[in-house]
Amino acid sequence: MNREELKAAAVAMLERSYVPYSHFPVGAALECADGTVFTGCNIENAGYSPTICAERVAVGKAVSEGHTDFVRIAVAGESENYCVPCGVCRQVLMEFAPEIEVICLNKKGDELALPLKELLPYGFDPSYLGK
Ligand code: THU
């Protein structure tokens, strides 16, 4: 899948979002080194805190299928601003892919692409635990 296809896969997930509370859909498409792509959407909950972000849904799908070698993630939203990953999602990506490229999209489809290390400087990675 090329870059534009990865972005389109993230955008396509917006309609799968379950967002009755925030009405803020997010879609994600996570690309692995072997080219496999896992998608995700945000899934909200009446208890609010069980809500899971689109990025972490994609990571959970990937890891549970045996994939942890991530190279790029596209994150789509429907606002004027670029849809950047929240702090928790940055930390989850850091666990597996400190070198990952994060492609943030706005509603027009413009992109802001950043290395995770710029989004999460001094991130707490497994090396802090001697791993
Ligand atoms: N959200 C994501 O899915 N990803 C992010 O990184 C930012 C926030 C979702 C969570 C919630 O369903 C909605 O956006 C508003 O916070």
Residue 2 confidence (pLDDT): 97
For the chain, what is the mean pLDDT? 97
The closest of 107, 44, 99, 33 to 67, measured between CA atoms, is 33
Q: pLDDT digits over 44-100, tens only?
A: 999 999 999 999 999 999 999 999 999 999 999 999 999 999 999 999 999 999 999
- Among 28, 80, 20, residue whose Cα is nearest residue 53: 28
**Which residues have C-beta atoms less than 6 Å from ligand 1?**
19, 22, 24, 26, 42, 44, 51, 53-55, 85-86, 89
Compute how many other C-beta atoms are within 10 angstroms of the C-beta atom of residue 36: 15
Cα of 66 from ligand 1 centre, angstroms: 25
Give pTM, 2 decimals: 0.97
> Are residues 73 and 55 in contact, defined by beta-carbon separation less than 8 angstroms?
yes
CA 25 / ligand 1 centre spacing (Å): 7
pLDDT in tens, 5-30: 999 999 999 999 999 999 999 999 99
